[in-house]
Each structure stands twice: as C-alpha cells, then as structure tokens.
Chain A
Amino acid sequence: MSPVLEVRNLRKTFGGIVAVDDVSFDVHEGEILGIIGPNGSGKSTLFNCILGQLQPTAGEVFLHGQSVTGTRPCDLNRLGVSRTFQLLQIFPQLTVRENLILAGQEHQGTMLSRLFGRRDAGLTGAANQMIEFFRLGHLADEKAGGLSYGQQKLLDAAMAFMAGPRLVLLDEPAGGVNLTMLQSLRERLKAINSEQRATFVVIEHNMEFVMALCSRIVVLAEGRVIAQGNPADVRRDPKVIEAYLGH
C-alpha cells in the first residue's frame, strides 16, 4: 500500500540561506511520525512547504500517490490534510463550539448551500462530540479567548480533527503546556490515532513527549535528514547526539 505522504528531495532556500536541504521521507497510514531536531534545523519550514504555506524551491510532495506540491493549504485541507500551529491560532472572540463549527464547515456542502443552509452547517452534533472527546464540555459556550493556554491548545488540536482528516501535521503541540495537560493531550492523540486510523506527523522539542507518542522518528539538522528510525535507536545514534550537543 502506498504511503499516505511522500516527501521527495524537498528543498527550500531563502535568498542565500538553505532552510531545507534535500529532505525525503515517507509516512505510512496509521503511524505517528515524529520530526525532531535542534532549533533552526528547518522543521517548521519543512511543514510549511508540505502544507503549501510556502512554495518549495525544489522537490515534490505526494498525498496518497497524488502530487500536491505547492497546493494551497485550503485545497490540501479539503483533500484530508489538517494541521495545528506552533503559535496558537484559535479565534478568541468565537466560542469554543463556534471555533469547532468553523473548523468543519467548509467540508459541508457547497459555498452557496452554506449561505442558505443552517447556521451551524449541521455541525453542532459533531462539535459536541469533539468537545466531549477533548474534555472541554464545561467550556463549550465560553469565548475561546478566555480559556487557559493549555485548554486553547486542546481546542487547537480539536479543530484540526473536526473535518475527519486522514493526515494531521502537528507543529509543537506540547509547547507551553503543563504536565497534566500534556498527559491528557498525548493520551487523546493516541486515542484518535487508533480510533480513526488517522496518520500523524509531529514536530516537537519535548523529547519525552515525542518518544512516548511516536512510532518512528526523523531527525533534522541544518535542513538535512541525519537519522531515521524507531525512538530507541534514534536516541542512541551518535550523529543525533552530536547535532544536539554541538549546539
């Protein structure tokens, strides 16, 4: 079976700076792939290139065998790819439930049908389910801006799952989250992964989080892949150790 995501020789330069240099890897259905690397190793740029946020300078990206290099993020989302952001990007003046409805509405019907159809695009039920799953029930009608940071992170993740995506890219989901929330987040992610056979790619700095969550790891340093494999092997790889200590 072909991989869900294939990245081939991806390269991104900004003027004279090479942020991503000839990166290739596959992501298979149902796995949770972690991408780690020291600061400035090009992880976020890599994500942005895969997701169409940036145009890659060279290289290709395939989704289920179909070329999606440089496709706009909204079109990619409609093909079943979704993401979370490193810097929190929820809509603070909408309620938690409204945020979730927003996250799923573009997949309901056509643009015109959405104008004349129901106010919630028929998504109140799905939104409530998501709220239950992420244990945000008591906050459903609160304005998202009033939530704590950790709760907003959960909302952010929940939004990424509203449209039932096949592939989710999570950019530093653990950043700034306290330990108890972290447990909850990791456990929720694992649950969705097994229940919906959703495939994840996770960028993270938090080693413990990554090692516990991911089945396979890719290590980047200075824009290049320096190691790939299961968490235990990668941890012991001398190149990886050097990349981190060398900084």
Chain B
Amino acid sequence: MTPSQKKVLAAAVLVAAAVFLLVAPHLLRPYGIFILSTWVVMTIAAIGLNLTLGYAGQVSLAQAAFVGIGAYIAAYLTTRGWPFWSTYILAGSSCFVVGWALGYPALRVQHHYLAFVTLAFNTLVYLIFRNEEWLTRGIYGIMNIPRPEVLGWSMARPIPFYYFLLAHLVLISWATWGLIRSPWGRAFIAVRENPIRALSLGIDTRRYTLMAFALGAGLGGLSGALYAPLTQFVDPTPFALGLSLNLLLMVIVGGSGYFFGPFLGAVVAVLLPEWLRFAQGYYLMGYAALVMLLMAFCPTGLLGFVDRVLTSKPKTTSATPPLAGTPAAQKAAG
C-alpha cells in the first residue's frame, strides 16, 4: 500500500471513529457513557505517557501518581468552591513542575534505573494519599466533587459532561500534534533513536528528555483533574502502581511512539474489559498474554503491526519507529 493510500485509509478510520464518538453517547445507557468518558480521561493520561515513553524513550512508572496529584488538587479545591478552570490549570502546571523536579536528578541514570525510581515515587505518593488524612481524607476519600459549568451551562449530566471531556481530548490532541510536528518533535525523535548522534548535533538530550518527561507528567495531571469530576469521588485506590503499569501497557500495546497509539491502547485497556466483563479474570490474563505476544513478535504494538502489514516495502529500515533502546533501533540508525 502506498503512503497516499495509507493516508486515505487512516483518514477514513479517523472519520468513522469521530462519528462513533459523537453519536455513541445517545445510544448508550448511563453506565456505557461513563465507561466511554473513562476512556477519554485515560487516553489523555496515556498521551502524556506516550510523550515520555514513545517519543523520548523514557520508561516512567509514575504516571498514576501524576494523575492522582491532579485528581486530588481538583477534588480538594472544587469541593471548596474553586472554579474548575483554575484547578485544571493548577493541576497541569503543578504536575509539570513536580515532573521536572523528579526528572531533573532521575533522568541522569540509565533507563532501567529510571523505571525503579519512578516506581518508588509512585508508591511513595500513594502512601501519602492514603496516610495524610488531614489533606486527602485518606481511605475515606473526597466525595461530592462538583461538575463544572461552562458559560452558565451545567455539565452535571452524563452526556454534556462526556462532550466536555471529548472537547478536552480534541484540544489536547491538537496541541500534542503541534508539538510533535515542531522542531521539538524532531529533537525528541533524535533523542530517542540515537542520543549520541543527537548530542553531536547540538541537541541537549538532557533538556529535551526532561521536557518530555515533565510534559507527560503535566498531561497526567490534566487527566486527573478531569477524572475527579467524572467519578465525583476520589480515593487513593486508583492511583497505586497498578494504574501506572496499566498506562504503560496501554501505550505499548497501542503502539509506543505512534500518535494514535494511546487511543487504541486505552480502548484495549478500558473498553475491552467492560465488554468482556463476564470473563473478568480471564480478561486480565488474556490482556497480559497479548502484551507478551506483542513484545515477542511486534514490539511496536498494534499500530506498529498494522503499519508493518500495510507497508509495501518489507525492509527492516521501514517507517515504523523502533522501540527505544532496542538493537533494531541501533541497527536502523547505522
């Protein structure tokens, strides 16, 4: 399939998906709308992680902590009367700053160590959420989180709030697309593919990696600020290590480094288990098995698989971005 044919196919798929997303809530029951809304929120968090992992090549297991920080900021402030927009911006920027502060020392170590540092960070943050009752109400959680108002229109009901979330997803996607297409995006690719070469071209790998990490964290915070009014109840349980692992798997399964990878990954991680509800335990096992199979046969995820199938020239140096740090990436680079 030629590149232009691929573009037409991609456009067709996108249009179909957009139509589905716009129309679906009117065909679903409230619970279905809730699940779809959860998908939107998780996709935003996964987009953030995709920046960190897929574009900058850094393994972060702290994304759940950032989602949690964002959620608690939004929950704490909106239940005290702050308007949604200010908490949203505060959540995003706080997580950006925390991400920067964490990343500044942490990114000096090698990849596998970063995974452990972020794992430790996530667990620590979770412990704080659980134990510091004066701030977070501990295991009792923060309840009755209000839904925002936009220009006098209340977003309290499921369908309007869903569109509200969808609008955020569109905005964030547009901003991220702009980022990827800018010189920064090119620099991220360089840092991921070949940091040594990137350095020799004047690219400050440390600064770009830090930026990707902090931006990823900021997006996690935004996702959390949207999660709070969605569930209208925030407690520590969702923000444990499990969510970080889940987000990581989402990004990988969808296709790390592909723009729509997080969208697809979130479908597999959020929507699929709901449809397979009856087989809950088996679902998780199947999901885990899928991940392992993908890693063995197609580490570039589902979108990577599709890309490979559709690409006309089956060369090893094809258009698919090899997974960071792998011999395939090094082979492709030289």
Touch between chains A and B, by CB atoms below 8 Å: yes
Residues of A within 8 A of B (CB): 51, 53, 72-75, 77-78, 82-83, 85, 87-94, 98, 101-103, 105-108, 111, 114-117, 119-121, 143, 145-146, 159, 163
Query: Cβ of B197: which chain A residues have Cβ within 8 Å of it?
Result: 85, 89-91
Q: A72-B199, A77-B201 are in contact. Are A101 and B334 (CB under 8 A)?
A: no
The CA-CA distance from A72 to B198 in the complex, in Å, is 12
Query: Cβ of B187: which chain A residues have Cβ within 8 Å of it?
Result: 102, 105-106
Q: Do the beta carbons of B317 and A102 come within 8 Å of each other?
A: no
Q: A91-B194, A91-B333, A114-B183 are in contact. Are A145 and B317 (CB under 8 A)?
A: yes
The CA-CA distance from A107 to B198 in the complex, in Å, is 13
Q: A77-B200, A87-B334, A163-B202 are in contact. Are A114 and B182 (CB under 8 A)?
A: yes
Least Cβ–Cβ distance between A117 and chain B, in angstroms: 7
The CA-CA distance from A96 to B255 in the complex, in Å, is 25
Q: Do the beta carbons of B201 and A103 come within 8 Å of each other?
A: yes
The CA-CA distance from A89 to B321 in the complex, in Å, is 15
The verdict on B184 contacting chain A, using a C-beta distance below 8 Å, is: yes
Q: Do the beta carbons of B183 and A117 come within 8 Å of each other?
A: yes
Segment with Cβ contacts to A, from B84-92, B162-170, B203-211 = B203-211
Q: Do the beta carbons of B203 and A74 come within 8 Å of each other?
A: yes
Q: Do the beta carbons of B183 and A105 come within 8 Å of each other?
A: yes
Least Cβ–Cβ distance between B330 and chain A, in angstroms: 9
Q: Do the beta carbons of A74 and B196 come within 8 Å of each other?
A: no
The CA-CA distance from A73 to B315 in the complex, in Å, is 32
Query: Cβ of B182: which chain A residues have Cβ within 8 Å of it?
Result: 114-117, 119
The CA-CA distance from A145 to B318 in the complex, in Å, is 7
Q: Do the beta carbons of A159 and B183 come within 8 Å of each other?
A: no
Q: Which residue of B lies closest to A121 (CB)?
A: B183
Query: Cβ of B183: which chain A residues have Cβ within 8 Å of it?
Result: 101, 105, 108, 114-115, 117, 119-121
Q: Which residue of B lies closest to A73 (CB)?
A: B199
Q: How many residues of B contact A (CB 8 A)?
A: 31
Q: Do the beta carbons of A93 and B186 come within 8 Å of each other?
A: no
The CA-CA distance from A75 to B199 in the complex, in Å, is 8
The CA-CA distance from A90 to B183 in the complex, in Å, is 17
Residues of B within 8 A of A (CB): 179, 181-184, 186-187, 189-190, 193-194, 196-205, 207, 315, 317-321, 332-334
Least Cβ–Cβ distance between B206 and chain A, in angstroms: 8
Of B196, B204, B319, chain A has the most CB atoms within 10 Å of the CB of: B204
Q: A91-B193, A115-B179, A146-B315 are in contact. Are A51 and B186 (CB under 8 A)?
A: no
Q: Do the beta carbons of A159 and B317 come within 8 Å of each other?
A: no
The CA-CA distance from A51 to B197 in the complex, in Å, is 12
Q: A90-B333, A163-B202 are in contact. Are A53 and B194 (CB under 8 A)?
A: no
Q: Do the beta carbons of A145 and B200 come within 8 Å of each other?
A: no
Q: Which of B201, B202, B332 lies in contact with A145, CB distance below 8 A?
A: B332
Query: Cβ of B319: which chain A residues have Cβ within 8 Å of it?
Result: 93, 143
Least Cβ–Cβ distance between B205 and chain A, in angstroms: 7
Q: Do the beta carbons of A90 and B334 come within 8 Å of each other?
A: yes
- Given contact pairs A73-B199, A75-B204, A146-B317, enumerate 18 new A-B contacts (beta carbons under 8 Å): A51-B200, A74-B200, A74-B201, A77-B200, A85-B334, A88-B333, A89-B194, A90-B197, A91-B193, A91-B194, A93-B319, A101-B183, A101-B186, A111-B207, A114-B184, A115-B184, A120-B183, A146-B315
Q: A73-B199, A117-B183, A145-B332 are in contact. Are A94 and B189 (CB under 8 A)?
A: yes
Least Cβ–Cβ distance between A93 and chain B, in angstroms: 6
Q: Which residue of A lies closest to B179 (CB)?
A: A115
Query: Cβ of B186: which chain A residues have Cβ within 8 Å of it?
Result: 94, 98, 101-102, 105
Query: Cβ of B202: which chain A residues have Cβ within 8 Å of it?
Result: 74, 77-78, 106-107, 163
Q: Which residue of B lies closest to A78 (CB)?
A: B202
Query: Cβ of A115: which chain B residues have Cβ within 8 Å of it?
Result: 179, 182-184
Q: Do the beta carbons of A92 and B200 come within 8 Å of each other?
A: no
The CA-CA distance from A175 to B194 in the complex, in Å, is 20
Q: Do the beta carbons of A74 and B205 come within 8 Å of each other?
A: yes
Q: Do the beta carbons of B204 and A92 come within 8 Å of each other?
A: no
Closest 9 CB pairs of A and B: A145-B317, A77-B202, A106-B202, A88-B334, A89-B197, A73-B199, A114-B183, A92-B317, A92-B332
Q: Do the beta carbons of B203 and A92 come within 8 Å of each other?
A: no
